[in-house]
Structure 1
Amino acid sequence: MPPAPAATAGAVTFVWLGMVLAISFLEAPLKFRAPGVTIPVGLGIGRLVFRALNAVEAVLAVAVAAAVALGDAPAGVVGLTAAVAALLVAQLAVVRPRLNRRSDRVLAGEELPRSRSHLSYVALEVLKAGALVALGVSLLTV
């Protein structure tokens, strides 16, 4: 793989990883511990933040995929790129709609038990973060 596409894909991958770590594993759990933040307020903030994060992630996924495709990457890099993209698609197409429907109900005043859908999202986020680390490292070594 030529140096420029590998460097571009690697840089974008690590920016993406940093965003996921900062938002999903730092901001999201901490916002509910802030004084005065109720569940509805936290959900409203979370929806805005994750909508923005996911939009940026989609752009970053396209940028990584384009750099990998243009750079004639080895099969391992292509596979990791596909894995990260598939995990993002699963989050956006399968889990997020369920979370949005549930948060709509909570924001409308309905009292609901804890959601297991959040655990699905977190599991996919952990897998995606691991795949991003693996992809970034593999791009450093091509």
Structure 2
Amino acid sequence: MNATSAATATAVTFVWLGMVLAISFLEAPLKFRAPGVSVRIGLGIGRLVFRALNIVECVLATAVVLLVGQLAVFRPRLNRRSDRVLAGEDLPRSRGHLFYVAFEAAKVVGLLGLGVTLLTL
């Protein structure tokens, strides 16, 4: 890997890491605490934000297994559940979100490791 490739890969890794940290661990939980934001509105916003994040993630790394797992396994389940909530159904709390958060945390660890590794090249 030449210096330009390493610098580009490092920059992309840390930009992606910043996006995951900002959206998954800052924006997502905080929006539900904002005055006047109902669960339905928060879910609607969350769906838009995570869809945008996932599109950018796919562009940055189409072959990452953790991302594929999130999009193929967890997101469809969470989308079906959020469709029901948005339709007015009152559902109990879901453990599916905990699995999604665990994958996000694993992605953060992997991206941080990759970014640090690329800095040493």
Q: TM-score, normalised by structure 1?
A: 0.83
Which consecutive aligned stretches of 4+ in structure 1 deviate over 2 angstroms post-superposition? none
Q: Which residue of 2 aligns with 1:43?
A: 43
Work out the percentage of aligned pairs sharing the same amino acid.
Answer: 76
Amino acid at match of 1:106: V
Q: Deviations over 1:55-111 (max 9, x none)?
A: 01111115xxxxxxxxxxxxxxxxxxx6xx111111111100000000000000100
Comparing 102-111 with 53-62, greater Cα deviation is found at 53-62
The structure with higher relative contact order (CA 8 Å, sep 6+) is 2
Matches within 5 A, 1:59-138: 59-62=59-62, 85-138=64-117
How far off is 1:41 after superposition? 0.6
The alignment partner of 1:119 has SS state of helix
Q: Deviations over 1:98-138 (max 9, x none)?
A: 00000000000100001111001000000000000000011
- For structure 2, the 5+ residue unaligned runs are none
Q: Distance in 2 between matches of 1:118 and 1:93?
A: 14
Q: Which residue of 1 aligns with 2:9?
A: 9
- For structure 1, the 5+ residue unaligned runs are 63-81
- How many residues align? The count is 121
Amino acid at match of 2:45: I
The alignment partner of 2:61 has SS state of helix
